[in-house]
Structure 1
Amino acid sequence: MIISSRERNGATSKNMISRSDPDTEAKVRSSIKLLNETIQNNANEPSLAFFRIQEHVRKTLPTMLQKRTELENLQEHIDGLVFDIEYSMDAVKTILNSESHFSNIQTQLEKAVFLQKQINIFRQQQIQQQLFEKRDEKLSNTNQTIVNTSWFNRKGTPSSSPAVTHGTLQRKLDVDGSLSSSFEQKHEQSLS
């Protein structure tokens, strides 16, 4: 039977491990401890730590940027709302301070309403006066023709009659609303 060199080496290593000395065990343990410390130092090396930080930043940076833009948009929106609220508060304060202006406007409106009523009354009086003048013209024309014919019949000639013109005929509105002719009163006085 042929034994290979590998098998021999394996068998000898088993025999060596099984025949261990306490001195060799202490040396092996101290060397393993040093090897573990070296591996830990290499695993926690600053460049490796920076690499891990870079991976963390690469994973979280897009979401952080998105949140940052959302916060900036919200900040702009809030700033706009705050400005609107402050502007509205200033407007309300100025309205409260302008009470005197509103009272002035109210008195001016009351005056305007009063003047409009006066204008309407004045227009109605003008219309009534125009109606009375038209009625007076008709009455004066009929009275003038009656007077002219009565003078003509009495004296016989139209030249002897007194000059009766429209200017001498005056109408007055009595308190009770009836019309009286001052011309007729003057004419009756001249006849008597």
Structure 2
Amino acid sequence: SFYDWGAYGVGPNIQVVAPSVFSSQTLPFTVDIQTANGCMVTETVEVVVHPLPEAEIQAPPAACEGEPVTVSASGGVQYDWSDGQSGAVITIVPTTLPAENIAVTVTNEFGCQSVASDFILVNPPPAPTAEANPMIICPGEETTLTATGGVNYFWSNGEQGESITVNPVAPTFYNVTVTDGNGCTA
């Protein structure tokens, strides 16, 4: 037997790269078969081609190192992320400076898959310093606490600002949370 698939080649089996489609389409393939006794037969095989999913990632352009962020994907019914998570919405904790690469394999209702990838710029946390001047005082005396390394300063006693004046009546520890221009805290 001899098989002639026209422009697609000859032989009992051929491989055809499916075209890009935006909706499911049925594509006919015609083969002329010459049997061993010389008879010609024409057969048509119909192949259904489903579209690939339009995979997209929605992620913030930047994040702070070590702080969780939410990323999401769309375009399918199943989402498998490069870090092993699954689902349309996941939480990641970026730790790779200067950027965290993320990728998702999106599967549509037909089982067809596409991959989308993106990166998130990862900002390091601020490196604040704090000091007291004077460092040693008597009960009821004032000292000025000053922090640097950020743009916003939140002190453990509820005050805000780069410098605050305190007059503790007993030995006291003060903590400061510093936020930098990228919104990262330390």
Say yes or no: TM over 0.5.
no
- Greater relative CO, 1 or 2 (CA 8 Å, sep 6+): 2
Over alpha carbons, which structure has the higher Rg?
A: 1
TM-score, normalised on structure 1? Answer: 0.25
Q: Which has the higher helix share?
A: 1
TM-score, normalised on structure 2? Answer: 0.26
